[in-house]
C-alpha cells in the first residue's frame, strides 16, 4: 500500500513538472499554436464561407504572425502577381496585381514556424486597376493630405488633416508621350491648368491646387506633391543617409534649407547638420549636429522626431520606396515655430549624375521640363509664370555631399540633387531671391 502511494505521488510530481515546463529532462511541452491576423486596406478582415479572403488589386494586405515564420507564397498559373511592401519574420505586407480584365485570380500564402507548425491563407484577387486606392500626400505648401483615386472612373478626392475635402475628375493622357500624365480638374484652378498626377509604382508625383500658405482670404495655387502608399514600415529599415531639401513658409514668406541627414541605430536616431555650409554629415562640425530620437507614430508609416532630453515633439516624417530608393518625406506645421514645412530627402549619392529628360512641377505654379548634365541644368517652365533657366552646375566643397551641386545663373541661385527617378531643384536660402522655391520632378 505504502509502495503504491509513493509510486502515485512520484507520477503526479512528474506530471506537475511537465505542466510547468520542467521534469523528465524532456523540454517545454507542445509549442503554442501559430496564429495569424489579417488586415486588408488597414481593416481587420475575415474569410468568406469558403475560407478565402477577397482583395482588390492595389489594396495593402498585412498578415501578422504570433511567432517567427518563413513565408511561402504561390499564385500557381493565376493572373496574380505580388508586390512586396515590407515583410519580416513576423509580418507579411504586400499588394496584388491582377493582369486580367475579366477573371479573378488566386494566391496561396503559407506561414511555416518551428516544430512543424504552419498556417495557410488563400486570397481571391478581384479585377481592377492596381493604381486605385488611397495615398498619403506630402505637399509643397507644407501640408499633408489623403488622396483617394479611381483611375477607372477617372475621379479623385483630396482630404486635408482637418477633414476638408475637394474632389474632381481626371482627364486621361492625351498622347503616348505622356501616357502616365492625368490632368486634374478642380474648381480651384484658374488660368493655365498645370495640375496633374503621374504614377510611379506605388507613388504619385504631380501638381495640385493647394491652399497658399497663410493666404487671407484663402486662395489656391498649383504646387508639387509626392503621394505614396509605399512606406517603410519596419523601423530598422529607416537607416540611411539622405540629401535633404527643405522649404518652409511663414506669414512673411518662404525659406530654404539644404542639408545632409542620417538615420541610424536601427531607425532610432536622426542626426542633422544645421550649419550654414552644406557639409556631409560625417564632416559636420560637432556644434552643428542636432540629434533627435525617432519613435513610431500612431499613423502607420509615419515616425515622430523627438528631443532626446525632454521628449518634445519636433516633427513627423515617413520614408517611402520610390523605384527602389528610400526617400525621406515630411510635411506639416512645425511644432517649434508654426511654419508650414515640406522636406524631401533622396539617398546620399556617391556621384552626381545628369539625365536627359525630366518633367515636374514647381512652387511657382508651373509644369517643368528639365535636362541636366555635370555642368548645366536646363529648365523650361510652362504656366502663368513661365520661365526658362539655363543654370551652371558646380561641385561644392570637399567636405560637402557629392550628390548635391549648386546651380546658378546671374542672381538665380539653386541647389540640385536627385535619386534614380526624382529630380529636386531648391532655391538657396535667404538672402537669395529664390528662397522657398522647389521644383520636384521625375526622370523619364
- 265-295 burial, b at 16+ Cβ within 10 Å, e below that, comes to eebbbbbbbeeeebbbbeebeeeebbebbbe
And the C-alpha cell for 315? 516633427
Given a contact cutoff of 8 angstroms between Cβ atoms, the answer to whether 37 and 30 are in contact is: no
Cβ count within 10 A of residue 116: 8
- Determine the distance from the C-alpha atom of residue 123 to the mean position of all C-alpha atoms in its chain, rounded to a whole number: 26
For cell 528662397, the residue is 435
Closest CA to 228 of 358, 317, 357: 317
Closest CA to 47 of 153, 119, 101: 119
DSSP SS3 for 420: coil
Per-residue model confidence (pLDDT) at position 175 = 75
Per-residue model confidence (pLDDT) at position 77 = 78
For cell 518551428, the residue is 114
- For residue 314, report the phi and psi dihedrals to the nearest 5 degrees: -105, -25
Given a contact cutoff of 8 angstroms between Cβ atoms, the answer to whether 400 and 278 are in contact is: yes
DSSP H helical ranges for 72-225: none
Whole-model pTM: value is: 0.91
Give the whole-angstrom CA distance, residue 124 versus residue 108: 9
For residue 208, the surrounding DSSP H or E stretch is strand 203-211
Give the whole-angstrom CA distance, residue 431 versus residue 145: 31
Q: 327 forms bridges with which residues in the sheet?
A: 320
- For residue 176, report the phi and psi dihedrals to the nearest 5 degrees: -60, -25
For cell 559636420, the residue is 284
Cβ count within 10 A of residue 29: 12
Give the whole-angstrom CA distance, residue 141 versus residue 358: 22
Using 70 as the pLDDT threshold, list the residues of the chain that sit under it: 1-29, 177
Give the whole-angstrom CA distance, residue 192 versus residue 123: 46
Per-residue model confidence (pLDDT) at position 147 = 98
Given a contact cutoff of 8 angstroms between Cβ atoms, the answer to whether 20 and 105 are in contact is: no
Give the whole-angstrom CA distance, residue 178 versus residue 172: 10
Given a contact cutoff of 8 angstroms between Cβ atoms, the answer to whether 342 and 246 are in contact is: yes
Spatial neighbors of 67 by CB under 8 A, at least 6 apart, are 31, 32, 34, 90, 113, 114, 117
And the C-alpha cell for 163? 477633414
Residue 436: burial class (beta carbons within 10 Å; 0-12, 13-18, 19+): buried
Q: What is the pLDDT of residues 214-229, one digit of tens each?
A: 999 999 999 999 999 9
Closest CA to 294 of 278, 327, 318: 318
Amino acid at each position: 500500500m505504502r509502495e503504491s502511494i509513493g509510486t502515485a505521488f512520484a507520477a503526479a510530481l512528474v506530471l506537475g513538472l511537465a505542466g510547468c515546463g520542467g521534469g523528465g529532462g524532456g523540454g517545454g511541452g507542445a509549442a503554442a499554436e501559430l496564429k495569424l491576423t489579417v488586415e486588408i486596406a488597414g481593416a481587420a478582415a475575415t474569410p468568406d464561407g469558403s475560407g478565402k479572403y477577397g482583395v482588390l488589386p492595389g489594396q495593402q494586405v498585412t498578415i501578422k504572425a504570433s511567432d517567427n515564420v518563413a513565408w511561402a507564397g504561390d499564385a500557381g498559373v493565376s493572373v496574380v502577381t505580388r508586390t512586396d511592401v515590407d515583410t519580416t519574420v513576423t509580418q507579411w505586407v504586400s499588394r496584388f496585381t491582377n493582369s486580367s480584365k475579366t477573371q479573378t485570380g488566386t494566391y496561396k500564402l503559407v506561414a511555416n514556424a518551428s516544430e512543424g507548425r504552419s498556417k495557410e491563407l488563400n486570397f481571391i484577387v478581384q479585377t481592377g486597376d492596381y493604381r486605385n486606392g488611397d495615398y498619403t500626400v506630402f505637399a509643397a505648401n507644407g501640408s499633408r493630405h489623403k488622396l483617394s483615386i479611381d483611375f477607372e472612373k477617372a475621379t479623385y478626392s483630396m482630404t486635408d488633416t482637418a477633414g476638408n475635402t475637394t474632389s474632381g475628375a481626371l482627364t486621361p493622357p492625351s498622347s503616348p508621350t505622356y501616357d502616365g500624365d492625368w490632368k486634374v480638374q478642380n474648381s480651384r484652378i484658374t488660368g493655365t491648368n498645370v495640375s496633374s498626377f503621374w504614377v510611379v509604382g506605388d507613388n504619385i508625383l504631380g501638381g495640385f491646387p493647394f491652399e497658399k500658405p497663410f493666404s487671407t482670404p484663402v486662395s489656391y495655387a498649383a504646387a508639387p506633391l509626392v503621394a505614396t502608399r509605399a512606406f517603410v514600415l519596419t523601423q530598422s529599415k529607416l537607416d540611411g543617409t539622405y540629401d535633404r531639401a527643405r522649404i518652409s513658409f511663414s506669414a512673411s514668406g518662404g525659406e530654404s534649407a539644404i542639408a545632409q541627414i542620417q538615420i541610424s541605430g536601427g531607425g532610432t536616431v536622426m542626426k542633422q547638420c544645421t550649419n550654414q555650409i552644406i557639409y556631409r554629415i560625417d564632416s559636420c562640425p560637432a556644434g552643428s549636429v542636432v540629434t533627435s530620437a525617432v519613435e513610431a507614430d500612431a499613423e502607420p508609416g509615419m515616425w515622430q522626431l523627438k528631443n532626446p532630453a525632454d521628449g518634445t515633439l519636433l516633427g513627423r516624417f515617413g520614408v517611402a520606396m520610390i523605384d527602389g530608393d528610400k526617400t525621406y518625406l515630411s510635411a506639416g506645421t512645425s511644432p517649434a515655430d508654426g511654419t508650414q514645412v515640406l522636406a524631401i530627402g533622396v539617398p546620399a549619392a556617391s556621384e552626381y549624375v545628369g539625365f536627359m529628360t525630366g518633367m515636374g512641377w514647381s512652387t511657382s505654379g508651373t509644369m517643368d521640363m528639365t535636362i541636366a548634365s555635370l555642368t548645366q541644368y536646363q529648365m523650361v517652365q510652362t504656366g502663368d509664370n513661365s520661365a526658362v533657366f539655363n543654370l551652371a552646375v558646380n561641385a561644392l566643397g570637399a567636405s560637402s555631399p557629392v550628390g548635391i551641386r549648386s546651380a546658378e545663373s546671374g542672381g538665380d541661385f539653386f541647389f540640385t540633387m536627385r535619386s534614380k527617378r526624382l529630380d529636386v531643384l531648391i532655391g538657396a536660402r535667404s538672402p537669395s531671391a529664390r528662397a522657398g522655391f522647389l521644383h520636384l520632378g521625375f526622370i523619364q
